[in-house]
Amino acid sequence: MKLLPGLLFATLTLGLPMLPGIAAAAGTVKTDAAKMTLYTFDKDKDGVPSCYQDCAKNWPPYLGKSSEKMGTGWKLVERTDKTMQWAYDGKPTYLFSGDKKPGDMTGDGKGGMWHALKE
Q: What is the pLDDT along the chain (119 residues), one digit of tens a residue?
A: 444 444 333 333 344 333 333 333 468 999 999 999 999 999 999 999 999 999 999 999 999 999 999 999 999 999 999 999 999 999 999 999 999 999 999 999 999 999 999 98
- Where do the structural domains in the chain lie, given as residue ranges? 27-116
pLDDT tens by residue, 96-116: 999 999 999 999 999 999 999
Entry pTM? 0.77
Rg of the Cα atoms in the chain = 17
pLDDT value for 62: 98
pLDDT value for 27: 81
Sign of CA dihedral 90, 96, 116, 34: positive
